[in-house]
Structure formats: structure tokens, C-alpha cells
Chain A
Amino acid sequence: MKNHLFKIGILTIACFACSFVYSDNHKKEYKFETIAEGLSFPWGIAFISNNEILVTEKTGKLRVIKNGNLLEESVSGVPDSLFRGQGGLEGIVLHPNFTENKYLYLAFSETDPLNKRLNTLRVVRGKLEGLALKEVKTIFKANPSRKTSNHYGAKMVFLADGTLLITSGDGFSYREMAQKLDNHYGKVIRLNDDGSIPEDNPFLSTPGAKPEIWSYGHRNQQGLATNTDGSIVYEHEHGPRGGDELNIIEKGKNYGWPAITYGIDYSGALISPFKEKAGMEQPIHYWTPSIAPSGMTFYDGDLFAKWKGNLFISGLVPGDVRRISINGNKVIEEEILFTALGKRIRNVVTAPDGSLVLATDEFPNQLNPQGGKLIRVKPNK
């Protein structure tokens, strides 16, 4: 008996030692560096260069971080946005030829000018000249407007062919509209860089369909990224209670919300008893319980060689980043990272130097509205 207890004791100590050594080694693989603090709900991040970063603050400002300093002055000429609920100044993306044309794109919620009780998602293109945004042009406005201030989507990415994808969320209370093609709720939108409609969009000849639609049946898509050659589009969307999804977006496809879902409503009610149906796409991965996925990057940098080709997805609820290893259309590994920060992670992007940059905020935000930070993750060499 004594002999058994001794063996069990040794085994337990060995297990603890192994887990300690493992986690310690893992921690030493990378380090955190604060790039900027005092940000007000940082949301979207775009790199002009490794030392010049644009950050949208949900409260309405476009901030610039230059050589490690957060400039006091924000970019002028940015349209007014509606900071309420889940809305505000959110998505940002640079034109693929930004160095030549200086175009950037902003996605934000705004009050409907025709009915102040309503609001909508709007996307503009503007030319960045110094600290001013000029030649601002609306390229997309989600239609119809909504009463709610939730589920805007508001992420953007350029495809290899130069067209722009925009996520447009379901507005929370309008979820059934995600299955119809006559509106922009719960859709992925595809436009040319000037806002015109590409000639090969899938529903151009469908009667009553909005011609901007690229895919439909989405909820609140806050992650959008392509692989290195742009041939695969990854998207993630918030589920309700459970059922956060990671999808591969393809032309004209229906992703099922809310007819099929792995989540239930916040009230506890079933949204749908069905999880699959012919003609509706399955996620390549889903999370129940929810992690509240808030941003995504496809890692093709060189600093973390072993992470090349992985997806990184930030999660608001657990306050971590999920490293997703993918083989084709299959998720083969999920690793939880950066929990040591102890913060809600609003976004994760890859910097030009191959480091990962995280945007964090506080919850509830109202207690510390300037609590947002940008944090760089680098190898610990």
C-alpha cells in the first residue's frame, strides 16, 4: 500500500513539474510590448508601415501611432459615427495600392439622415493626406436602416482581384432577413474599390436581390481574412449563446443563419432546432460556449516561423487569442494564447515585421473608457 502511495506521489509531482516546465517554456516563446495606451475602445488596425499605425476608436476618432507615439491629434475629415451599443467607428482597411493612391476605407455606424430613430452601417473611401482624410466618398450603405445598435459586422478585406469584401451584420432583431436577398442584413458584400458593383457578383441576375451580395445567412461577422495568395477567405461570426463560427466564404453561398445554428438564444430559447440542411454551408469550426470572436488574422509573417499559415482569432469573453492550425478546409489544432494579458482582446493583426499586434479594451468599457491598448507580441529572443 505504502509502495503504491509512493508511486502515485512521484507520478503526481512529475506531472506538475512537466506542466510547469511546459507552460514556462511556452511563455518564454514570446513577449509583450505595449505600443500605445490611453486608446478609447480601439477597434480596427491598419499598418501604413511597421512604425506607422492607424487605429479606429469606436468613439469616433481615427488615431495615428508614429514611431511608438500615439499622436495627440487625430485624423481630421473622418465622418461622424454613431457611438452607441455595439456601434461606432469600427473597420479600417488600406487600399492594396495605398502607397501610391493613399486610399483607405472606414466602416462605421451612423444615424440615418432621413429618420433619426434609425441607423445603419456605412463604408467610406477617403484619401489620407498627412493627418487629414480628403475626398471622402460613400461606397456602401446597408439597406434598410435599423432601430437596433447591434451586429454591424463592419470588417473589410481586399481580395486578390482588387475587389473589397465588407461584412454587414444581421442587426440582431432582423435575423430572419439574413436568409433573404433583398436586403443587406447578415451578408458579405463585394464591391470594386470605387464602390461600383463587380460584374461577376453572384446575384446580379436574381430578381429583387441586392447586387452587392457575395454570400448570405450570416449573423455578426467580426473577422475577415484571406490566406497569403488570397484564394481562401476566412470569416468568423458571433453566435448567440454558443455557436460562434469559423467559415470559409465562397461566392453565392448560404451560411444558414438563423435556419441552422449551433447556438441558442440569450433567453434560452431555440433559434432553430436544426444544425444542418442541404444547401446551407457548415462552419469549419465552431465554439460552444461562445468565445465572442472579435478579430482575425492569417499569419504569413516570418517572426514566428512555426505559426506560418495559421489563423489567429481574438476572443472577447475569455480574453485570449486562438491559434487555429488548418489543413485545407479542416481545423487540425486549436491553441489558447495570451491569457496572461487578462484583458478583453478586441482585435489581432499581423504587423509588417511579422509580429502580432493586439487591441485590448476594458469591460465594462464605461468604467475605463481610455483603457484601450495596442500590444505587440514578439518572439522572446
Chain B
Amino acid sequence: MKNQTKKVVFLALSILLVSFLVGAQTTISNLIWLTSIDMPITLGVFFSSIYHDFVFMSLTPAPPAPFPLLLSIITFGFFISFGVTWVLLEWVDVQKKYAYGIAGAIALVSIVYLMPLIFFGVDALAGARTPIGKVTLIICGYLGGHFFGSRLNKVEI
């Protein structure tokens, strides 16, 4: 029972971690462009923007949705990809940190590539509009999954 609780906590932490990383990627890509047109980006502006985006993308409802949109999408994606991974690991012998890492990356691939199909070609995540942005977001998904898998290993040892 204690292990189950720990797993849920680690899952929640991995979702929060990815949500934070995706938010930070969005912030940084925006700030890089603003710098390129000579907008005055100071350290204060940088950190306040990172904080703002984490709070408003991951913790605050995004009207008309009554829930935090990014956190919900990542949670949904992770539930599916981690669920499939959990089943596959019954037959496939791979270290959990890598298996869940790949699952996290696949969740982000789905989010990044499926959302424009739903929203008439629009990338709802501004940071996903460029190829390098897409790759960065997929790496964020991998890191979240890797974190979850490596914690699982420790719980089960």
C-alpha cells in the first residue's frame, strides 16, 4: 500500500515536472524571439516569466476549460502511454527508466503532433511551432518518464 502511494506521488511529480519543463520551453522560446527584436529581457523578466507561465499553464484553469489545460493534457497523455508501458513491461525486459522515458516522449509526440490536427493546423503550445521546439518538448516528455521510471525502480528494490 505504501509503495502504491509512492508510485502515485511519483507519477504526479513527473507530470508536474514535464508541465514545468514544457512551460519553461514556451517561455524561453518567447523570450529568445523578444530579445531578437531588442525587447529588454532582464533576469527579473526572465524569472518572473518562468514563474508566470508555470502558474498559469500548469496550475490555473484556462477558460473556457475549468481546469489547467497543459497539466490535464499531459496527465491524459501520460496515463495512456504509461499504462501501455506497464502492460508491455510484463513481457519485455527493459529498464523501467528507459521504458517510461520513451513512453513520456511518445506522449509528448502525440500531444505535439495531434493537437494541430484537432485545431485546424494550430499549435496550441507556442513552443511547438518550430522543429527544434518540437524536439525540445519531446525531450521534456522523456525526462518526465525517465524520472518516473527511475523512482519506480527504487520503490520496488
Question: Are B53 and A270 in touch, CB under 8 angstroms?
Answer: yes
Whether B124 pairs with A147 at a CB distance below 8 angstroms is no
Residues of chain A with a CB closer than 8 A to B49's CB = 270, 273
> Within 8 Å of chain B (Cβ to Cβ): is A148?
yes
Contact A269 B26 (CB under 8 A): yes
Chain A contacts with B in 66-102, Cβ cutoff 8 A? 84-86
Among B3-11, B63-71, B97-105, the stretch in contact with A: B63-71
Residue A150 lies at the interface, judged by CB distance under 8 Å to chain B: yes
Q: Are B122 and A172 in contact (CB under 8 A)?
A: yes
Q: Number of residues in B with C-beta < 8 Å to the partner? A: 32
Q: Which residues of A contact B34 (CB under 8 A)?
A: 259, 272-274
Residue A268 is within 8 A (CB to CB) of chain B in the complex: yes
Asked if B39 and A268 sit within 8 Å, CB to CB, the answer is: no
Could you tell me if A267 and B39 are in contact, using CB atoms closer than 8 angstroms? no
Q: Which of B54-62, B77-85, B88-96, B141-149 contacts A (4 or more CB under 8 A)?
A: B54-62
Q: Is the interface of B mostly helix, strand, loop or mixed?
A: helix
Q: Is residue A294 within 8 Å, beta carbon to beta carbon, of the partner chain?
A: no
Asked if B27 and A268 sit within 8 Å, CB to CB, the answer is no
Residues of B within 8 A of A268 (CB): 53, 55-58, 60, 62, 68-70
Q: Quick check: is A236 within 8 A (CB to CB) of the other chain?
A: no
Interface status of A337 (Cβ within 8 A of chain B): no
Contact of B126 among A84, A241, A269 (CB under 8 A): A269
Q: A264-B56, A267-B57, A267-B70 are in contact. Are A147 and B121 (CB under 8 A)?
A: yes
Q: With an 8 A cutoff between CB atoms, is B30 at the interface?
A: yes
Q: Indicate whether B48 reaches chain A with its CB closer than 8 angstroms.
A: yes
Q: Judge whether A85 and B27 touch: CB under 8 Å.
A: no
Write the A26-59 contact mask toward B (1 if CB under 8 angstroms, else 0): 0000000000000000000000000000000000
Of B23, B27, B52, B121, most A-chain CB atoms within 10 Å: B121
Give the chain A neighbours of B121 by CB distance below 8 A.
85, 146-150, 173
Residues of A within 8 A of B123 (CB): 173
B55: chain A residues within 8 A (beta carbon)? 268
Q: Chain B residues with Cβ under 8 A from A270's Cβ?
A: 27, 30, 49, 52-53, 56
Tell me whether A250 is interfacial, beta carbon within 8 Å.
Answer: no
CB-based contact B120/A84 at 8 Å:
yes
Flag whether A353 is at the interface (Cβ < 8 A).
no
The answer, yes or no, to whether A271 is at the interface (CB within 8 Å) is: yes
Q: Is the CB of B120 within 8 A of A150?
A: yes
Binary per-residue interface labels of chain A (265-303) against chain B in the complex, 1 for a CB within 8 Å, 0 otherwise: 111111111100100000000000100000000000000
A118, closest chain B residue (CB):
B121
* Given A264-B56, A269-B126: A179 touches B37 (CB 8 Å cut-off): yes
- Is the pair A149, B120 in contact by a Cβ cutoff of 8 Å? yes
Q: Which residue of B lies closest to A174 (CB)?
A: B129
Query: Are A266 and B62 in contact (CB-based, < 8 A)?
Result: yes
A148 touches B30 (CB 8 A): no
A148 touches B120 (CB 8 A): yes
Residue of B nearest to A240 (CB): B126
Candidate in B30, B45, B60, B126 with the most chain A CB atoms within 10 angstroms: B126
Q: How far is the CB of B135 from chain A (nearest CB, A)?
A: 17
Assess the B126–A85 pair: CB atoms within 8 A: no
Q: With a CB–CB cut-off of 8 A, which chain A residues contact B69?
A: 266-268
- Out of A85, A179, A269, name the residue touching B23 (CB < 8 Å): A269
Query: Cβ of A334 < 8 Å from any Cβ of B?
Result: no
Q: Which residues of the other chain, B, contact A86 by a CB distance below 8 angstroms?
A: 120
Interface centre among A148, A149, A267 (most CB of B within 10 A): A267
Closest-by-CB residue of A relative to B23 is A269
* Chain A neighbourhood of B129, CB < 8 A: 173
- Shortest CB-to-CB span from B121 to chain A, Å, is 4
CB closest residue in chain B, given A277: B39
Q: Give the residue among B37, B56, B122 with the most A Cβ atoms within 10 A.
A: B122
Is A182 part of the binding interface, using a Cβ–Cβ cutoff of 8 Å? no
Q: Which residues of chain B are near A266, meaning CB under 8 Å?
A: 62, 69, 124
Give chain B residues whose Cβ lies under 8 Å from the Cβ of A172: 122
CA distance A71 to B44 in the complex (A): 62
Q: Tell me if B120 and A241 are in contact (CB < 8 A).
A: no
Assembly CA distance A355 to B26 (angstroms): 47
Apart from A259-B37, A269-B23, A269-B30, list 9 A-B contacts with CB within 8 A. Answer: A85-B120, A86-B120, A150-B121, A173-B122, A173-B123, A268-B69, A270-B30, A270-B52, A273-B45
Q: Which residues of A contact B (CB under 8 A)?
A: 84-86, 146-150, 172-173, 176, 179, 241, 259, 264-274, 277, 289
- 7 residue pairs from A and B, CB less than 8 Å apart: A150-B120, A173-B122, A176-B33, A259-B37, A269-B52, A273-B52, A277-B39
A-B pairs, 6 with minimum CB distance: A268-B56, A85-B120, A148-B121, A149-B120, A268-B57, A147-B121
